[in-house]
């Protein structure tokens, strides 16, 4: 079995040069644009609501805004296929939807800034939903752009650049917004974040539309199922006929195409997509309670997780991108799956050891380094699964599936900790990563390497 098709692997120097490519650089800024809204409708918003003396129960309900990110697959076919008046002609399919989503994010943040949660909680929720919906839509378009803009051998580097931008945005929307709010108030904080949304808008206006996007605009019209439907539905009204044809081409065909291309292996692939992140997401639910129960102070946790965690994630993501260029997708994917499971065992060791900031820094560094490698390889793998005729729809399916099972199982983490304690919980969190490792090995043997 061969990996991504070159007769000889590129040198390490050639692999590193991938980060100087303009489209790889552009992903840094698009990643920032994607990461900026996330905390502003979650933990940063929770801090604002807490200071506004909103009840904890109500604050908990606000987390339901995040469901938007998990159901984006339902409107991904619209983003994938429907042109926007005027804008699509000027900017192209991907950039036009990207721009509208980014404007929606900025407008929603400004509206939140000028709304008092103490007196207008409903409107805060409504505007937060606008931000989350626009953000999820932007995710669809950025994912599609990233896949269509470069070949699959560059996807690891694109993912690494995206992760760096995303992490920088999390710092800005988390610690940055809190510092601004502390000095000048929440209105100033959210107005500042809305201004930072201009980074994404400017990037969208500068980058070029991928050729693959324009080439596949009407690809679904050549789908056999669409052709057959058009032939047998001549008796229907024209508008209804074309609406049905669009639904078949934009919604049905992407899913049929995936199973047709992958055959019986499609089930194993979808299982891997759903299971790959179960280990780290399950562990992550209980990690902050563990730190506190271990006796670490909030400032100690924040400083170590932000300093060591941030830089080690970026290093890991960059290394993952280089490994994909150097060795193809599957071997770094296997390495990432193994490292994520193994580093969870380090937390089990930390749970039975004496409190030590140095050991905490070491464990967090190892955990974030492995997460960065795994994430870069996994994003590259998901990108390799898509057919460029249905990029947005198929990738939205994968990105939704990759978190839903993990979020569900992660909800039982507290039950495990209460019943068996932290050491056994972290061993359990490591063990549930084994199926992902087995599936990667199986697919390495049975499926041809992505090309």
Tokens of 286: 């209980």
Domain termination site, one of 162, 196, 217: 217
pLDDT bin (cut points 50, 70, 90) of residue 5 is very low
- Looking at the structure of the chain, the number of domains it has is 3
Query: What's the domain range around 245?
Result: 219-254
Q: Which of 9-23, 131-145, 220-234, 346-360 is predicted least confidently?
A: 220-234
Residues 292 and 201 in one domain: no
pTM: 0.66
Residues 192 and 165 in one domain: yes
The string of pLDDT tens digits covering residues 417-427 is 788 888 998 99
Residues 225 and 211 in one domain: no
The string of pLDDT tens digits covering residues 22-61 is 898 999 999 999 999 988 987 678 778 877 877 766 766 7
Residues 243 and 159 in one domain: no
Residues 376 and 240 in one domain: no
Residues 101 and 133 in one domain: yes
Residues 158 and 68 in one domain: yes
Residues 111 and 68 in one domain: yes
The string of pLDDT tens digits covering residues 262-280 is 888 888 888 888 888 888 8
- Is the pLDDT assigned to residue 120 strictly greater than 60? yes
Residues 432 and 341 in one domain: yes
Q: Residue 449 maps to which CATH number?
A: 1.20.1250.20
Residues 182 and 325 in one domain: no
Residues 209 and 246 in one domain: no
Residues 224 and 77 in one domain: no
């Amino acid at each position: 079995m061969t990996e991504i098709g070159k007769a000889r692997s590129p040198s390490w120097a050639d692999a590193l040069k991938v980060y100087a490519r303009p489209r790889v650089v552009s992903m840094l800024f698009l990643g920032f644009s994607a990461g900026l809204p996330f905390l502003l409708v979650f933990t940063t918003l929770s801090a604002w609501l807490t200071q506004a003396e909103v009840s904890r129960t109500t604050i908990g309900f606000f987390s339901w805004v995040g469901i938007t990110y998990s159901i984006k697959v339902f409107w991904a076919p619209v983003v994938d296929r429907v042109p926007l008046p005027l804008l699509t002609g000027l900017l192209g399919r991907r950039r036009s939807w990207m721009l509208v989503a980014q404007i929606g994010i900025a407008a929603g943040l400004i509206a939140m800034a000028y709304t008092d949660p103490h007196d207008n909680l409903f409107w805060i929720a409504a505007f937060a939903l606008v931000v989350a919906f626009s953000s999820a839509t932007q995710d669809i378009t950025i994912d599609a752009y990233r896949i269509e803009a470069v070949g699959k051998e560059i996807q690891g580097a694109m993912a690494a650049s995206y992760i760096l931008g995303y992490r920088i945005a999390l710092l800005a929307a988390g610690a940055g917004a809190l510092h601004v709010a502390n000095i000048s108030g929440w209105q100033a904080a959210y107005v500042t974040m809305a201004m930072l949304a201009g980074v994404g808008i400017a990037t969208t206006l500068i980058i070029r539309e991928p050729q693959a996007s324009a080439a596949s605009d009407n690809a679904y019209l050549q789908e056999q199922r669409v052709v057959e439907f058009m032939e047998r539905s001549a008796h229907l009204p024209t508008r209804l006929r074309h609406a049905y044809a669009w639904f078949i081409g934009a919604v049905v065909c992407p899913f049929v195409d995936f199973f047709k291309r992958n055959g019986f292996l499609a089930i194993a692939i979808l299982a891997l997509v759903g299971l790959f992140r179960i280990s780290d997401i399950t562990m992550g639910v209980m990690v902050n309670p563990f730190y506190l129960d271990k006796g670490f102070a909030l400032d100690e946790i924040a400083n170590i997780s932000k300093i060591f965690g941030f830089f080690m994630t970026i290093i890991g993501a960059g290394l993952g991108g280089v490994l994909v260029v150097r060795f193809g997708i599957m071997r770094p994917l296997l390495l990432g799956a193994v490292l994520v499971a193994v580093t969870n065992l380090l937390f089990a060791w930390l749970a039975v050891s004496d409190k030590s900031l140095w050991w905490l820094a070491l464990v967090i560094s190892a955990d974030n380094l492995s997460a960065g490698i795994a994430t870069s390889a996994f994003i590259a793998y998901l990108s390799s699964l898509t057919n460029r005729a249905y990029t947005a729809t198929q990738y939205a399916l994968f990105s939704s599936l990759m978190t839903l099972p993990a979020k569900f199982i992660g909800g039982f983490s507290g039950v495990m900790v209460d019943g068996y304690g932290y050491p056994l919980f972290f061993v359990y969190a490591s063990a549930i990563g084994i199926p992902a490792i087995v599936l990667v090995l199986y697919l390495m043997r049975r499926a041809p390497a992505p090309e």
